[in-house]
Structure formats: structure tokens, C-alpha cells
Structure 1
Amino acid sequence: MIRKIFLFALLFLLFFSSQSVIPQDRIVTELQEGWKFAKGDIPGAYLPDFNDSGWQTVTVPHDWAIEGPFIRESDGNTGKLPWKGEGWYRLNLAIPAESTGKRIYLLFDGVMAFPSVYVNGEKAGGWDYGYNSFYIDITRLARPGKENLIAVHADTRPHDSRWYPGAGIYRKVRMITVNPLHVAIWGTYITTPVIKPHYADVRIATTVNNSEISDREITLKHIIRNQSGNKVAEKETKGRVPATGSRVIETTVTLQNPRRWDIIDPHLYSVETLILTGEKQVDSYMSDFGVRDIRFTPDNGFFLNDRRVQLKGVCLHHDLGALGTAVNRRALERQLEMMKEMGVNAIRSSHNTPAPELPELCDIMGLLLFDEVFDKYDAKADILDTTDFEKFAQRNIHNFIVRDRNHPSVFIWSVGNEIGDVQRNINNGFQRLHTMVNYVRKYDPTRPVTLVCDNESSASLRHFDYYDIHSWNYGRRYKLARQMEPNKSVIISESASTVSTRGFYELPLPEKKNDFTKSLQVSSYDLNSPEWAEIPDDDFMWQQEEPYVAGEFVWTGFDYLGEPTPYSSYWTRANGLSAYDDSRSSYFGIVDLAGIPKDRYYLYRSYWRQDNPTVHILPHWNWENMKGKPVPVFVYTNGDCAELFLNGRSLGVKCKNPKSENSVERFRIMWRDVIWEPGELKAVAFKEGRQTGEAMVRTSGKPVTLQLTPDRSVIRADGSDLSFILVEATDKDGNICPLADNKFEIRISGAGIFAGTDNGNPRELTSFRSSTYPLFNGKAVVIVKSTKSKGEITVELISEGLKPARTKIITQ
């Protein structure tokens, strides 16, 4: 029997791209390779005998629009990419004969948008919200022992968006094969209602499905293991599951001396849930959870494990830059690593149900998650004129909450963002809000729920009576809500919205925050924001003065495709320009779209990470047209003071002013009139009189070579791991050339493939898949993906007039 099971597992490894096998009673197979794709209205594409030989072969997750081409004359708000349309996916899938008599599910993490799923020519089901996960029982239509056709139709035409949403099967697809008696999809609900220093009660509610025609008596066995894999608790309970039905069986397991999940020690436990009938095991299901306590207080903010934690958060959109919206775990992990290094301890999934990889990584990495399900209650959430709102809310909130509720990183649920008619109670806005909030509380009463608001005067209507926490965007708009209901905590759910272009500096400095020029780039002195927003220093100051504020979520951690404020259609038309002049990606990010930090990154790091010295100087020092003229110099440091040197001459010591009502004077050290001359500019920082570090910039000569720096030189040979290679132009002395715009050609050989490239320029319209790409302000990033072959990847960049550059990546 064991040999048969082993051979059965090997058969699946041959048939499918990747899978995880949880004993023989539950097989989970990721359907990654072998898909065929074509765009358009294609009659008969769901039929088994349809000829798809001329279709494109793709790997899922797949974003059909990210390769472009960019459409210059189209709206920059959604990224100038061809995401509107319909497309078909087909997969020929061999299901082993051993699956006869079992239940077979397809689990989709997300399909943009309005997916319809067909199996062997018959419609199996679909879904109506492109950002949500869903599953379909295909047992009736599947043919074990034969080849099966899975066809998926996606249609983004009814979908509306304020940013680039992507298109197609952009998240994972898995086939789950189980016995008729099994734990349901997302079938465990794990809470810790009692937490003491010496024990914790772990309550496990398990939904067990029974597709047999008779009731079944079962034993449910839970085995809890710590992060090292050691068994720390175990318990059995019995129950009866009705025929062709399901039952929730609840039990409490006591865990001795629990190690708490925390942002400084993200310890995870696992529960293995076994279903036994007599002595026979018929299912095994794994769940992760954490033991942690969260609470909000009206006057002192947020507490994690009885310790006040100021939320230092960022909002993240769901695209991954040059990779588009096709989810890649390593790409998302890299974003989170960069945010943690900056000092971030919390993420907001703005404004949609995230890919399941996000809460998984937040659990592992010790990041709190503000889990948000919708933007607006309209076509941006795929709610159309024909949608039954009540039923839509029930099924989508169910999947959203039930999928994510075991994650200890999730500390609050959000049912929407800046919904004007809901805040104003137009078109039964409060009734719709009440519907959403009630369903959240039905499926998880253990966490607070909120609505993210932006219309300050609407607080007079008391929509906050329907939810738990005041969440407000920008400009201290929470003031009225706080005055009217002081017994609720406050979160700045979007802060700053400062805009800048990485490596771009423009003089003179802006007199007003919303002074923008026809350069169509935004100066990286970090003094610009839209009229309705602010600069980072303002939010720092407000939180210093109002300790009841639990923290902030900066808009945004990374630039993202679409929403190119200020250079969107509104600004360009108002200033005599056309759609051709719209940018294609945002300026809001602390990090640019390619994943290269802007200056602002170090401003946040200097305030949020007092544990680690930060010294950063700006701007670059290549200002040949400013000889003899003043150039402002800013230093971002967590020191108190800094001394500035130009070519070895001291330009004096300056210090922050913690009492200033001008926020930039509290958090930046500034020399506004340094007379430019070529050479070396150096800042030395001090804290309490002791030197903590230094930073310098030098005037560079002409570029002579390219410098390649991989973020990782060893990656997994799994067909999906990535290495992000920073490309920089340097002069003969190794100095970075901050204005270089040289084009380069990418050549990749060996055990990897080219995945994309970007340079962080919000106006760049070269395809992310082009093998020839320009530097922007001296830098770019090339992304390389592994194959399933172990070995070496050789990456070589060729640029006319420059020495070629080469690096190697090991895959293992």
C-alpha cells in the first residue's frame, strides 16, 4: 500500500508543475504550467475538441496585459496598458484513476475579472469579484483516469478601476483531491480566547464535509506543533457528520507556556487536523496560527501582547511593478523586506482582498496586516447595476474572512475605502455599510472592523457608530469624529501622499506643496504633495502631539502602475497638454516601481528606526549648470545634529529643532544655500554629542561601465524564484553617475530566464519585457527567474560606449 501511494505521488509530480502532497488522503496540486491563452471573444473555446494549437503557452499566475505594448494615448490612471478585454485559458489535465470516488475542487486565489470556469465542456461555476479567492467542486464533471479540459474565461470589460488592475488568472490555481469525508476548504477557525503567561486555550472549530449518503461517526484529532516542529499539545474529540452535509466540531486544546506571536518574535504554531473513522485516517489538514493578544484603547492607541505599539505602516497596491499583477512570492517578500528595513511594522492591503501570500508572509516576517476587502461599492468591486448587494456581500465577505482569519498578523478588517455615498448615507449607504460589517462580525467576532473615511464633515452623520475604529485619511480629518466619539481609537489609514521622482531634483524649491511643473517629474526634495495631502514630517509631528493616534499607513510603500498624480489626465488637460502626456505609474511611493529606494525612504528610516544609525544626504552633486549658485542640501538622520563638509571645508553644524511648528525643521537638517562647486559633499551625524555615521556624494565623471548588484546570488531552482539585479552606471573612479540614461541590452544564458526590467521612471513606455532598456537617473533593475534546472545563470549587459558588465546567479 505504501509503495502504491509513493508511486501515485510520483505520477502527480510528472503530470503537474508543482505540488505539495499531504499524505494520500489529501493531494494539493498547483496548476502552474501547460496553460494555453488567447485574448478575445472565441466561440467554442470551452469545448474539449477546440483547436488551441495556435494559442500562447503561459505559466499561471499570468497577467495578460503587463507585456504591453503601452498605449501612449490612453488613460494614465490605469497604467496605459491593454487590460480591458476578455481572454481564455485552457489546460489539459490528467486526473489519475485513483481519484475515482473522491471529491475534487479547484481553488482559485483570484482571477481578474468575472471568471467562468468550464470542465470538459460544461460550466462548473464562476465568481463575481476579481480580487477574491473562490473554489469550485468539480467532482461531477471530472473524469478520473482520463485527460480533462479546464477552461477559464476572464472578462475585465465590466470592471472599473482607479489603478492598473491586471487581467487574467493572475494568482495561483490549485486542484485539491480529498476523500468524501474531509475538512472543508479553509475549514479550521483557530482562536485563543484565554492567554496567560503559563498557558493558552486554543479553540479550534473544524468544518467537516461528508458527501457520502449516510451519516458518519468520526474522531477528530488535533496535533499542535511549535515552529521547530515539536509536538506540544494533542487532543481528540468525536462527532457525527450528517449525510451529504457538514458539521462544525469545536474543541479547546490547552497549550502550556505559550510563545507569543509578535512583531519582534513572529512565532507560529501549526495544527494538524486528522479525521479518523475507526482506526482509519481519511483526511489530514494543516493550519498555522499564532498566540497573541491585541486591543485598541481610545487614549493610548494600539497594544500588542500588552505592549503599546505605534503603527508604522505603509499601504501597498497589488501589482509587482515590471511583473504586473501576476503574484510571485519572492517579489512580494522582497517588498516586505525593504519595508521592514525602513522600519515598517504594519501593512495595509489597499484596497482589495490581497493574494494569500501577503498574510502568510506577514505572519512569518512579523508584520501586522490591515486587511481590506473593497475600494468602492461599485464596479471597482465588480458590483454592477444587476448585482444583488446582500448576496454579493455575504459570499465575498465569507471568503475574505474565512480564508484569512487564522493569520495572527491580521489585526483589523476594513470593509471599504473612501466611499463617498456610504459616508454621506446616500442610496442607503449606512444600510450597505451595516450589511458588510455584520457579515465580518459573523465570520470573525475577535477583531475590530473599520471603514476608511476621507470626508471629514460626514462624521456628523455618525457612520462610525457602525464600526469599531476611526480610520481617516490625510490632514487630521479624524478631528470631528474623535470629538464626537472620543471612546474609539484613531488610525491614520492613509498618510502623506508625498510625491517624488527617484533621483530627480528641481530648483528652486517649491513655495507650495502642490507646485508642479511641466517637467512632468516631481522633485525628490520631498516637499511636494497634492493639495489634499501632506509631507511625511507633518504626520510625524501630529502623532508626536496626539498620542491617542495609534499610528499611520503611508500612501504608498512602493510606486504602482496607474494613478500618476499629479500628472494624470486632470492635470495635463488643465495645463494645455493631452493624454499623450499622462504618466503611466505613480509618484507616491517611498520606493520607485523598480524597487529602488527614493530619498524619502531614508527620511522614514531616520524617524522609525532609532535602533540603527541612518545618515543620508541629498541631492546628487552633478550640477555643472549651477556653478557659483546655491544648491539646497538636506540630511536625513536619526542623529540630533550634523556637520556638512564640501571638499573638506566645514559648512557648519546644524541641528533639528524639536519645538518647531514647521515640521521639516523637526525631522530634517537643511542647508538651503550651499554654493555649488564640484567635488565631495559629506555629512557627519551626531547623537548626544557622539558621531553616529556619515554619508557622502561626489561629482561623477562620464559613465564608463555598468555595475551589477544582485539582491541574491543564490536562488531556488523551482521555476519561480527571482533575483533582482540593480544596474548602475559608474565613472572611471567607481562613482555613481546620477544622470546617466544609457540604453543597455540584456543577455541571459544558463539555468534562468529573463522576467522583466524597469528603471523607475513613471513616464517610461518601453515594454517591461524588452531586452533593450534605458537607465533612468543612473539606475535600473533587471529581474531574472530560475528554471527547474540547477546550475548557473549568466547575466550580461551590453551598452554602447561602456564596458560590458556580467554577473552570475547560482540556482539550487
Structure 2
Amino acid sequence: MKKLTILFILTVSLLNINAQTRDWANFNDNWKFTKGNPENAQTIDFDDSGWESVAVPHDWAIAGPFNEEERGFTGKLPWKGEGWYRKTFTVSSAISDKIVYMMFDGIMAFPKIYINGKLAGEWDYGYNSFYFDVTEYVKFGEENTIAVYVDTRKHGSRWYPGAGIYRKVQVLITDKVHTEIWGTYVTTPVVTKSYSDMRILTNVNNFTEEQKSITVESIIISPEGIEVVSAQSDKRIKAGGSIEFDHWITVNSPNIWDVDNPVLYSVKTIVKDGDKILDESFTPFGFRTFEFTADDGFFLNGKHFNMKGVNLHHDHGPLGAAFNTRAMERQLEIMKEMGCNAIRNSHNICAPELLELCDKMGFIVFDEAFDKWDNKADITPETDFYEFGERNIKNFVMRDRNHPSIVIWSVGNEMGDIQGNSNYGLQKLAAMVGYVRKYDITRPVTMACDQDGNAKWRHSDYYDVHAYNYGQRWEPARKLDPSKAVIISESASTLSTRGFYELPLPEKKTDFTESLQMSSYDLHAPYWAEIGDDDFMWVENDSYITGEFVWTGFDYLGEPTPHFSSRSSYFGIVDLCGIPKDRFYLYQSHWRPEKDMVHILPHWNWDGYEGKNVPVFVYTNGDEAELFLNGKSLGKKSKNPKSEVSTERYRLMWLDVIYEPGELKAVGYKNGRVVGEAIVRTASDPKTIKLTPDRYDINATGDDLSYILVEAFDDEGNICPLADNLVNFKIKGPGEIAGVGNGNPQSHEPFIADYRKLFNGKAMLILKSVKGEPGSIEVSASSDKMKGTKVSIVSR
């Protein structure tokens, strides 16, 4: 603890005395944690020496154990309960004239923050960012104790929420005269290739006891780091007050932000008293235009833009809900490779790093605040709905409003009382939408609906864009109000298990079996939903639809429809570990028509099916393909873009292939040109393990990751698609196992372990660096009756 204290003194004192401006200090390390609610845990002299040492972000439940007897709605993990976090820190007496803020990006749930035994603040929505001015509670030059109480018992959820301080914590030191947190608001009313007009609103606080004459300068910084243009003005701010500065700036020849050109500028805001700089902050932004049209969909920078979107939950699979920037970046990389260009953060306020990544990587965002307005949003019977709503919407919008990736706000998902106008539903909706518009006027507002029959209540009068989930349920609302564009805010909900295939093919989408897995022929969906091909067809048929957001990009913990003995979902295009399912290639073939690709399914290990029918599907960007079995052509199939049967438009299907072991090959064509081929072969027994890291170089920051794919192969180099061998792992060097998984929704093996069974031939090991310890990390894998292997990762 002394090491932490000294480092914190150095960080705070040096950065703030020398720069004389604001400083954000990382506050994530050296916490103590315990589950339960020990008496007087908030007090200074409480003995926490027996508690667990942790760093945040931290999810106390992900290590398990699983409750195998529990239904899988929220992942079968022990997230319900109470917990405490504590740490000590020192703030230099040299900065006793400063303001000290504590910023939390998310605590699940109902946190109470104590500084030196006194309640400094509390919050009531586990997915929101919040901060407190803790200056009056801090003892400058002395040791301080922070204690955070967490209680998830009142939180409701339809999936795994996680538990604890699961996002980052920061301390902000500022002058008493400073720009308010999230107090710079950048808008670009006019954007052209030759120039852009900007408006920058900056709210400045004066926490001194006297009136101040203050100068605020707004400087535009180019993507290359060059100061482009600036504006400044002077105002008097009364003691204890705040005032807004309004700057209009023209930037010539702006570099336009786009999903294919995600360039960011920033506003450097300087607050001065005469020549003395009191505060300096940076606000990233981008120049871009967008428009939702009633009949022609969505336009980005004047060009028609089809939203090829996915819904993403906040968990990282085996890592749980504790936010990790690299884990999130990897998810987005995989989605980008598939052709995805839009993200809906379902259904809650996301970590700010997700939006930063979307800005930098080129995604547009459907930014959503709540899943229903009940205990899933931490709204209890005692909650003052309107006070809660305005306070949480204020933080949500002010925090996020400068991100160029965000093109629409959503105040919630599937609120039945709102859609049916019960329990003052429309009054609540009007209030929530109004709160959003109070803090941002540049984007439309919506809510995601799922009740087509309740469109008659005209809740659409209160928002700007129709957003509907599944099954063409937008049609009644569209007929009532054709002046609004339509977003398919949740599409598909196709159900599949990676690498699992079941015969015969289902006659109906809801023909589920007792296997407790879902076939990757991609023909299953719940009664309320559809397969992905249907949404492709609907978007193509109706020009007013702006696009879709698939449910979901990745599998997630909880909500294992339709098999609630499982602990994670079947909805993902990619499994819980980040291994693509076959469906990934269906979406890629449609969403990236310029990318030549061919994918074939199923695997070709069907012992006992000799002489029987095993249907074969091919996904390709081509318009036709030819199938070969052991060198013999089984004929060509062509897509039928005019068919009203959606699968005939987007898939190539051989429904009468008689199985024989060997090699199955598909060759794809586009306008007669070969675009590629795909091959699957019958494998023999698994003999070797292969380790394939997604990154061979990581940073020694303590939170950087390498995802290492584990696969089984036979002696001839064929992947073994049914292998379920237990694989053991060993780590040498400055690395740790952050988690393991295999994509099996039925598995109750722990995520934090040094072993994992293969599932349909694959598993994943997630390697984490050790903070401040660079070096070579050797990862080895072994299994009975298989040849082991090693791989080296460098941590720098």
C-alpha cells in the first residue's frame, strides 16, 4: 500500500504543480475487495488486510462457480449480493487549493462512495458514468481512505450484468476555475468539402469566493496535431457560479469523418485569468453530416448509407463484465471483417472506450440508455422517475454528445407500458425525449419498439425515427406516420451453436430438439424473430429502411433462448470466445460484396451417415458455385435475387448430397469469374494441438491481451471438427491466463482456469500481460494422446 501512496503523491503533485492545469489520474490499481457486508467497512481504521487484492475494472462474479441447477437467464454466475472495495491514497498538500473529483465509469450496482468514513455520494444506475466533487472529504498531505459499497440485490436483468466496479476509475484535479466535466459541446452546423462552420459551447465553473474575469480560448487541432484556427472571448463569472462561452469558428477544407476515413480533430480549451492558464482540456470530434430520410433511408456525408449493424452486449465472454479496451477492440475488428459498419449498445449506456473505438475505427452508433424502465434500469418502486431520468440522461448525453460515430439516441428498449400508453407511458416518453433534446439538438431520438399492435397509440409522435425489433413490426407505425425513417433495431435472432449441425433440417424455425444445442445450418429462430436472410430481403425491398442491427454480433452470458439449462446465448454471429460461426460468412457474403470469399458447411465427419443425405450450404459473394465431392461435380447452383424465399436469394443449397467420407469442395463464381474455393475434409483422430495468437506482441500494461486459438488436427493436417479433448495450459514468463472458453453454451467449466475442453475442435485461451514486466511469454498446451505445442508472445 505504501508503494501506491507514493506513486499517487508523485502523480498528483508533479503533474498538477508543474502544468498548473487539470490532470486525470488512473485510480484502478491496488484495491482491496470482499463479498458481503462487514460492519463498519466504510471507516478509516477498518482492517481490510484479509481482503482480496484486485485491480479495477473488476467483476466479482465471473470466476464463478456456476450454479448448474439455476435457470440460465442471467448466466448462472453469483452476481447477486453485496460487496466492498477499499484503498488508501494521499493527495499532496501542495495542491490543497485545487478541486478533487472522483469519476466512475460504471459500478454494478447502487454504489455508495465513502471518503474517510463519510458518505461522499451514491448513484442508482449501474451502467452510467458519474462523478463527485470530493474536495471537502479529502485530507491534503495525509493518508485518505476510500470505501465503495456495492449492492446488486435490487438490480434486475435479462442477461448477465456482472458485479462490482467493472469500469475504470479516475481522479481529476483541477483549478477552482475550470471547464465543467463534459462541459464542452462541439457542433458542426455546416460541413462541406471546402469549409465547415463550428459552434463550440463551453461551460466554465468558478468555485472561488470572488468574481473572476476569465478568458476562454478554443483551438482546433487537426488530426496531425497542428493548430488550425482558434477563437477566444472574455467574461466575468460570479463567485460560486458558472457561465457559458459561445465560439463560432470556420475551418477550411476539413478532413471529413467517415466509416472509411475515421479522422478526428479536437478542441483544445484553455481557461485563463489574464496570462495565467488555469485549465486546459481536449475534446475530440469529427466533421460529418448525416440525415434520416422518410423514403430513401440514411445518408452519411451526402451518400446513401446502409446500416449493416449488430447489437453488442457489454460482457466480454470469459472475461465477464469487467471492461477491457483490447477485448472490445477485438470484437470490433471481427465485426469490421464481417462487413459490419454500425453498433447498437444493447441495451444500456456503454463504456466510453467503446465510443472512442467506434470513432477511431469507423462505425456509426445507435446509442442507447436503458433496457425497459424498471429494475433493469435500477428503477425501483421508491425511485422518482423524472428526477432519475433527467439526471441519468444528462450524464449519458453530455458524456457522449461529441462523438462523431453517434447518429441517434435511444431512450430505451421494449418498454411495454410506453408502447401501450399505460402507467403514464406517453408522459414518461415525452419527458425522456425532452431530457435528451435539452443536452443535444443535433441528433434524432428514438425508442426501440416490439409491439406492432400498439402503434395506434401514436407514441411515434414523441420521437424522430421508427425503431422496431423483428418481424416487420414497423409496418403499422410506418402506415400511421410515413414521415419517419425506419431502423430495424433488432433483426434476425437466428439461433446456432458454433460447429454443431443436426439432421434432418428443420421444417419450421422453431423446431428445436432435445440436443440442447442449435444447428449451424442457420435455419432456427424464436417464434418472434426470423433468420438473417429475411432481413436482407426486407432491407432490399423497402428503400425507406435505413438498415438493421442484428441480434447479436457476439454470444453473451445469459438469455440462452430456447434452452435455459445453458448459461450463455445462441444468438451471436460469433461465439462467446470470438470464434466465428458459419453465419459470420453469410453476413460477410452479403455485407462485403466486393470481398471474394467462399464458405462451405457443414463439416465432413458424419460417421454412420454413409449413403444418407447430408445437405450442403455455400456462402459466397459470387452469384453461383459448383460443388465437388471427392472430385466429382455435384452441379452448380445459382442465387435467385428475385425469389420471395429469402434463402434462395443469399445462399446456395445442395439439399440432396449423399454422404461419403473424403473431400468436399465448393468453387465460387461471380459473372463467370472464379472468386475462390472452400474445402472441408473428413478428419481422423485428433493428434496435434495448434496454438494461433491473434497478436504476438502485447504491451506490459497489465491489461493488454492476446487471444490464442486452440485447435485439434489429425496427422494429415485436417482440423478435427468433433474433438472434445481436455487441453492443459502452462505459462512461463510475465503473463497470466485472463480466461479460457470454448463457445459451448452448455459448459459449466470455470472461465478462470488453466485447462479447457475443446468444443467442436476449438477453444480459446486469453493471455494477459503483467503490469510493468516486459519479456517473452511462453504458452504451452498439452493433452492426452495428442502432441503438445508451444507459442511465444512478447510483452513490451
Range into which the TM-score falls when normalised by the shorter chain = over 0.9
Identify unmatched segments of 5+ residues in structure 1. 1-7, 569-581
2-structure distance, mates of 1:24, 1:591: 48
Contact 2:769 2:795 (C-alpha < 8 Å) held by counterparts: yes
State the match for 1:261 in structure 2.
Answer: 257
State the match for 1:747 in structure 2.
Answer: 730
State the match for 1:596 in structure 2.
Answer: 579
Superposed displacement of residue 9, structure 1: 13
State the match for 2:484 in structure 1.
Answer: 488
2-structure distance, mates of 1:750, 1:731: 30
User: Map of 1:43-442 to 2, 5 A cutoff?
Assistant: 43-442=39-438
Superposed displacement of residue 75, structure 1: 2.4
2-structure distance, mates of 1:405, 1:114: 25
Q: 1:512 aligns with which of 500, 503, 508?
A: 508
TM-aligned CA distance change 1:479 to 1:22, over 3 Å? farther
State the match for 2:453 in structure 1.
Answer: 457
Do residues 23 (structure 1) and 19 (structure 2) align?
Answer: yes
2:522 partner amino acid: D
Q: Deviations over 1:326-362 (max 9, x none)?
A: 0000000000010011000100010000010111110
Q: Deviations over 1:379-437 (max 9, x none)?
A: 00000101001100110000000000000000000001011111000100111111100
Instruction: Give the secondary structure class of the aligned counterpart of 2:784.
Output: coil
Contact 1:23 1:284 (C-alpha < 8 Å) held by counterparts: no
Do residues 803 (structure 1) and 787 (structure 2) align?
Answer: yes
1-structure distance, mates of 2:17, 2:87: 21
State the match for 1:671 in structure 2.
Answer: 654
State the match for 1:653 in structure 2.
Answer: 636
1-structure distance, mates of 2:427, 2:776: 59
Do residues 621 (structure 1) and 604 (structure 2) align?
Answer: yes
2-structure distance, mates of 1:240, 1:644: 77
Contact 1:13 1:19 (C-alpha < 8 Å) held by counterparts: no
**CA RMSD in angstroms, aligned pairs only:** 1.5
2-structure distance, mates of 1:214, 1:642: 78
Q: Deviations over 1:252-284 (max 9, x none)?
A: 121111111111111100111111111111111
Instruction: Give the secondary structure class of the aligned counterpart of 1:495.
Output: strand
Contact 2:20 2:277 (C-alpha < 8 Å) held by counterparts: no
Q: Deviations over 1:486-521 (max 9, x none)?
A: 110000000000000000000000010000011000
2-structure distance, mates of 1:728, 1:140: 56
State the match for 1:642 in structure 2.
Answer: 625
State the match for 2:548 in structure 1.
Answer: 552
Superposed displacement of residue 22, structure 1: 10
State the match for 1:3 in structure 2.
Answer: none
Contact 1:15 1:94 (C-alpha < 8 Å) held by counterparts: no
The alignment-based identity, stated in percent, is 58
1:267 partner amino acid: V
Q: 1:782 aligns with which of 760, 765, 770?
A: 765
2-structure distance, mates of 1:288, 1:793: 36
2-structure distance, mates of 1:670, 1:613: 19
Instruction: Give the secondary structure class of the aligned counterpart of 2:73.
Output: helix
1:34 partner amino acid: N
State the match for 2:776 in structure 1.
Answer: 792
Q: Deviations over 1:51-84 (max 9, x none)?
A: 0010000110000000000011112000000000
State the match for 2:740 in structure 1.
Answer: 757
Superposed displacement of residue 247, structure 1: 1.2
Contact 1:19 1:29 (C-alpha < 8 Å) held by counterparts: no
Instruction: Give the secondary structure class of the aligned counterpart of 1:781.
Output: strand
2-structure distance, mates of 1:669, 1:605: 14
Q: Deviations over 1:156-187 (max 9, x none)?
A: 00100000000000000000011111111111
Q: Deviations over 1:781-809 (max 9, x none)?
A: 10011112111111111211111111111
Question: TM-score w.r.t. structure 1 length?
Answer: 0.96
- Structure 1, 346-355 or 253-262: larger mean CA deviation: 253-262
TM-aligned CA distance change 1:15 to 1:747, over 3 Å? farther
Superposed displacement of residue 98, structure 1: 2.2
Contact 1:633 1:670 (C-alpha < 8 Å) held by counterparts: yes
Contact 1:19 1:30 (C-alpha < 8 Å) held by counterparts: no
State the match for 1:576 in structure 2.
Answer: none
Contact 2:594 2:621 (C-alpha < 8 Å) held by counterparts: no
Q: 1:724 aligns with which of 684, 701, 707?
A: 707
- After the TM superposition, which parts of structure 1 deviate over 3 Å for at least 4 consecutive aligned residues? 8-16, 18-24
Contact 2:9 2:90 (C-alpha < 8 Å) held by counterparts: no
TM-aligned CA distance change 1:57 to 1:803, over 3 Å? same
1:791 partner amino acid: G
Superposed displacement of residue 15, structure 1: 6.6
2-structure distance, mates of 1:641, 1:23: 64
Instruction: Give the secondary structure class of the aligned counterpart of 2:266.
Output: strand
Superposed displacement of residue 717, structure 1: 1.3
Contact 2:16 2:22 (C-alpha < 8 Å) held by counterparts: no
Q: Deviations over 1:635-666 (max 9, x none)?
A: 00010000111111111111111111111011
Instruction: Give the secondary structure class of the aligned counterpart of 1:49.
Output: coil
Q: Deviations over 1:742-773 (max 9, x none)?
A: 01111112121110010000011011002121
State the match for 1:4 in structure 2.
Answer: none
1:416 partner amino acid: G
Superposed displacement of residue 11, structure 1: 4.9
2-structure distance, mates of 1:639, 1:807: 37
Instruction: Give the secondary structure class of the aligned counterpart of 2:683.
Output: coil
2:781 partner amino acid: L
Contact 1:90 1:149 (C-alpha < 8 Å) held by counterparts: yes
2-structure distance, mates of 1:641, 1:11: 63
2-structure distance, mates of 1:49, 1:742: 51
Contact 1:20 1:28 (C-alpha < 8 Å) held by counterparts: no
Superposed displacement of residue 101, structure 1: 1.1
1:806 partner amino acid: K
Superposed displacement of residue 19, structure 1: 10
Instruction: Give the secondary structure class of the aligned counterpart of 1:785.
Output: strand
1-structure distance, mates of 2:251, 2:18: 25
Contact 2:17 2:94 (C-alpha < 8 Å) held by counterparts: no
Superposed displacement of residue 597, structure 1: 0.2
2:740 partner amino acid: T
1-structure distance, mates of 2:62, 2:128: 20
TM-aligned CA distance change 1:317 to 1:21, over 3 Å? farther
Do residues 535 (structure 1) and 531 (structure 2) align?
Answer: yes
2-structure distance, mates of 1:45, 1:204: 45
Contact 1:22 1:28 (C-alpha < 8 Å) held by counterparts: no
Superposed displacement of residue 248, structure 1: 1.4
Contact 1:469 1:490 (C-alpha < 8 Å) held by counterparts: yes
Contact 1:21 1:29 (C-alpha < 8 Å) held by counterparts: no
State the match for 1:572 in structure 2.
Answer: none
Q: Deviations over 1:428-478 (max 9, x none)?
A: 011111110000011101100001100001001100000000000101001
Superposed displacement of residue 673, structure 1: 1.3
2-structure distance, mates of 1:353, 1:478: 25
Q: Deviations over 1:123-158 (max 9, x none)?
A: 000101000000011000001211110110010001
1:453 partner amino acid: C
TM-aligned CA distance change 1:274 to 1:117, over 3 Å? same
1-structure distance, mates of 2:356, 2:480: 37
Equivalent pairs counted in the alignment come to 791
1-structure distance, mates of 2:15, 2:85: 20
Identify unmatched segments of 5+ residues in structure 2. none
Contact 2:465 2:484 (C-alpha < 8 Å) held by counterparts: yes
2-structure distance, mates of 1:498, 1:103: 51
